[in-house]
Amino acid sequence: MTQKKTKLELTWIGKENRPKLEPRILIEDPEKSYHAAQRHSESDIFDNILIHGDNLLALKALEQEFTGKIRCIYIDPPFNTQQAFEHYDDGVEHSLWLSMMKWRIEILRKLLAPDGTLWVHLDDNEVHYLKIVCDEILGRKCFIGSIAWRSADSSNNDAKQFSMDHHTILVYSKEPGWLSYALPRTEESNAHYSNPDNDPRGPWFQGNVSSPNPRDNLRFDIMTPSGKAIKHPHNGWRWSKELVEAKIATGQIVFSSDETRIIHKTYLADQKGLSPSSIWFDVKQTGHNRQAKYELKKLFPGIPTTNLFSTPKPERVVERVFRIATRKGDLGACRRTSAF
């Protein structure tokens, strides 16, 4: 007897409706172009494009040239918090919000390169619903993870339930098997490395020597230079007998002064970078909402703060995304949507 597979999906009123979109073209505004003076010369290289207008039509206009080419897309859509901000209404009816997001994500998927990624920045109002929509469009196998970004540099002590101090960034790949780029090491991440014995290979720290799981072939005693036997841990050593002997020969494993234990050296020189964490809590590295407003004010010093965009994101959080997902020369897209 075979069990019939059931497709799980989120449904809502109007889901099957689809806007009729004709092919669009982008028209340059020379007065606002950084390359206006050189646009007819050989050095006319447009590294960046800033598009102003309806974002769905803009995405449609990008299809012809950029389908399958963009390595990383970061979007910061309306959170649908049911608030009316100065520059946009963030209170769209729930089913309409889902439809609008669905139409855009379908095009965004087309724009992604085979090894590309989509990063969607939201909060708790809609993120869990959109996760299901993204699973349907991009595939659950392409869901990489969710990042908790600390969006506030201080908690709200007047909150009646929780001080909501974080946002969520959903990360999807175009195809399964995507690998992230390592982040540069920091002084903090290197702080636990030292060189107390003047090892010529440089700073190191003492790594774990026991196996995470019970293994009979890893349960053996190690003989010290003076002939003492060091009994194996309960689960056994982390390496085979042959590999332990090789590490002792190279000095990567040394004995304690009383010869009662072994010390495994993990060298700083062998560490290539840091794997990205799913928790971005250090506001010095990824910024916060208040900082984003400072950055916006610096860009537009002559405009009163009350007239500036209400919910900007700091440059550092976007920089972190591009560091993890791209390298020099890759095409990336950052879409800030103030309204649908």
Question: How sure is the predictor about 25, in pLDDT bands with cuts at 50, 70 and 90?
Answer: confident
β 279-280/143-150 pair status: parallel
What pLDDT does 338 receive?
Answer: 60
In a 13 Å sphere around the CA of 222, the CA atoms on its Cβ side amount to: 30
SS3 at position 60: helix
**Mean pLDDT confidence for 41-61:** 78
Q: Is the model's pLDDT at 165 over the cut of 70? A: yes
How far is the C-alpha of 80 from the C-alpha of 98, rounded, in Å?
Answer: 10
What pLDDT does 37 receive?
Answer: 52
**Mean pLDDT confidence for 266-290:** 94
User: pLDDT (tens digit, 9 = 90+) per residue, 324-339?
Assistant: 999 998 988 887 666 6
Q: Which residues contact 21 (CB under 8 A, 6 or more apart)?
A: 56, 57, 60
What pLDDT does 35 receive?
Answer: 62
Q: Please give the angle made by the CA atoms of 105, 280 and 311, to the nearest 5 degrees.
A: 60
**Mean pLDDT confidence for 40-65:** 79
User: pLDDT (tens digit, 9 = 90+) per residue, 129-154?
Assistant: 999 999 999 999 999 999 999 999 99
- Cα–Cα distances (Å) from 255 to 127, 218, 232, 248, in that order, read 52, 18, 14, 9
Among 5-9, 237-241, 311-315, the minimum mean pLDDT is found in 5-9
**Mean pLDDT confidence for 79-94:** 82
Higher pLDDT, 2 or 223: 223
What pLDDT does 232 receive?
Answer: 96
How far is the C-alpha of 15 from the C-alpha of 61, rounded, in Å?
Answer: 23
CB-based burial, 320-330: b 16+ in 10 Å, e otherwise: bbbebbbeeee
* Domain spans in the chain, listed from the N-terminal domain onward: 51-155+162-183+276-336, 187-270
Q: Is the model's pLDDT at 32 over the cut of 90? A: no
CA dihedral of residues 240, 242, 244, 250 (deg, nearest 10): -150
pTM of the prediction? 0.85
Q: Is the model's pLDDT at 44 over the cut of 60? A: no
What pLDDT does 335 receive?
Answer: 74
Residue of 58, 277, 14 lying closest to 147 (CA atoms):
277
User: pLDDT (tens digit, 9 = 90+) per residue, 111-122?
Assistant: 999 999 999 999
Hey, how many other C-beta atoms are within 10 angstroms of the C-beta on 142? 21
Highest CATH level, class, for 51-155+162-183+276-336: alpha beta
